[in-house]
């Protein structure tokens, strides 16, 4: 039996209910959000654009009939949608020196404006670029920093949190600038961060807690999921290069 992801299932059910008109894949994005909103409006649900419990329950129905068969749904993800989008790029690397990774460059084009014209080489630090793209794709109504390329500018993004939660935006200081990524969990001394431009790649690394500047969360991202997640330090490298 083939296992499909939660996002694949949501897209397939939106398609079955006639609400989805985009590409059928496992990538959460604007078409999926638009379709969820159409479906929620048609069902008389709160229109959030997010596949919450009420929406998933409605999507499980095979038809509009009161006694319609219920379709089995995958477990609801514990990570928010922008974090699931980031995970799709784990292992993606910049091209050091001459040439640039086309996916990284496509993120700059997607953000548009001055970012698209300024960002012309993936040797330019891209942790903020990647985060901006992941959030823009999955939360199109969320306001990004005016300069998302500057990691420390994410200190005023969204809303502030007093403690981490899965998918929270973690802003760090470093020599010569800053770094930004997504919270996975923590051990006694380090945060475990899913982020870009960590040793020139999208990866999960450990970053010293003493470097933390701010914890932020998208205003349109729903309620933060849980609180601190305690993990083992074993097997997760400490970040060495974020520039």
For residue 38, is pLDDT > 70? yes
Query: What average pLDDT does the segment 68-74 reach?
Result: 81
Two structure tokens written together for 67? 């006694």
Name 110's Cβ contacts closer than 8 Å, sequence gap at least 6.
133, 136, 137
Asked whether residue 125 falls in the same domain as residue 197, the answer is yes
- Using CA atoms, how far apart are residues 34 and 111, in angstroms rounded to an integer? 19
Cα distance between residue 94 and residue 102, in whole Å: 9
Tell me, yes or no, whether 74 lies in a domain.
no
86 and 54 together in one domain: no
Q: Give yes or no: residues 90 and 208 share one domain.
A: yes
CATH number for the domain spanning 169: value is: 3.90.1720
CB atoms within 10 A of CB 84: 19
Same domain, 128 and 182: yes
Q: Is residue 40 domain-resident?
A: yes
Output the pLDDT for position 110: 92
Confidence of residue 152 (pLDDT cuts 50, 70, 90): very high
Q: Are residues 106 and 45 in the same domain?
A: no
Q: Is the pLDDT of residue 174 over 70?
A: yes
Q: Does some domain include residue 239?
A: no
Q: Which of 42-56, 64-78, 127-141, 208-222 has the lowest mean pLDDT?
A: 64-78
- Flag whether 191 is in a domain: yes
pLDDT of residue 238: 86
User: Confidence class of residue 226 from pLDDT cuts 50, 70 and 90?
Assistant: confident
- Are 20 and 134 in a shared domain? no
* pLDDT on residue 145: 96
Residues 202, 130: contact at Cβ < 8 Å? yes
Classify residue 11 by its DSSP letter: H
Q: Do 124 and 186 share a domain, yes or no?
A: yes
Total count of domains within the chain: 2
Asked whether residue 238 is assigned to any structural domain, the reply reads no
37 assigned to some structural domain? yes
Task: Note whether 206 and 89 are same-domain residues.
Answer: yes
Concatenate the DSSP letters of all residues of 86-131 into one string: HHTTTT-B---SSS--HHHHHHHHHH-HHHHHH---TTS--HHHHH
Contact present, 111 and 133 (Cβ < 8 Å): yes
Q: Please tell me whether residues 206 and 96 are part of one structural domain.
A: yes
Q: Is residue 102 part of a domain?
A: yes
- 99 and 162 in a single domain? The answer is yes
| Same-domain pairing of 32 and 106 | no
Reported pTM: 0.86
- Name the residue range of residue 38's domain: 6-59
pLDDT over 80 (residue 1) = no
Q: Answer whether residue 122 is part of any domain.
A: yes
Same-domain status, 89 and 50: no
Helix (H, G, I), strand (E, B) or coil at 161: coil
Tokens at residue 188, please? 């006694």
């Amino acid at each position: 039996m083939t296992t499909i992801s939660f996002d694949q299932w949501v897209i397939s059910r939106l398609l079955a209910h006639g609400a989805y008109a985009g590409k059928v894949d496992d990538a959460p994005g604007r078409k999926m959000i638009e379709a969820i909103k159409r479906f929620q409006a048609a069902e008389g649900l709160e229109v959030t654009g997010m596949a919450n419990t009420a929406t998933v329950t409605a999507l499980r129905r095979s038809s509009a009939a009161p006694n319609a068969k219920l379709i089995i749904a995958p477990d609801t993800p514990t990570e928010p949608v922008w974090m699931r989008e980031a995970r799709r790029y784990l292992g993606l690397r910049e091209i050091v020196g001459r040439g640039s990774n086309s996916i990284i460059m496509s993120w700059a084009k997607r953000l548009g404006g001055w970012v698209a014209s300024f960002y012309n080489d993936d040797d330019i630090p891209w942790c903020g670029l990647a985060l901006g793209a992941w959030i823009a794709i999955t939360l199109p109504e969320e306001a990004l920093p005016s300069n998302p390329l500057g990691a420390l500018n994410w200190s005023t993004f969204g809303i502030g949190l007093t403690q981490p939660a899965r998918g929270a935006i973690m802003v760090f200081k470093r020599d010569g600038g800053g770094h930004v990524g997504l919270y996975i969990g923590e051990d006694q001394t380090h945060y475990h961060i899913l982020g870009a431009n960590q040793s020139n790649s999208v990866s999960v690394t450990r970053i010293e807690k003493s470097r933390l500047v701010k914890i932020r969360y998208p205003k349109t991202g729903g309620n933060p999921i849980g609180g601190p997640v305690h993990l083992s330090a074993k097997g997760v490298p400490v970040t060495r290069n974020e520039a």
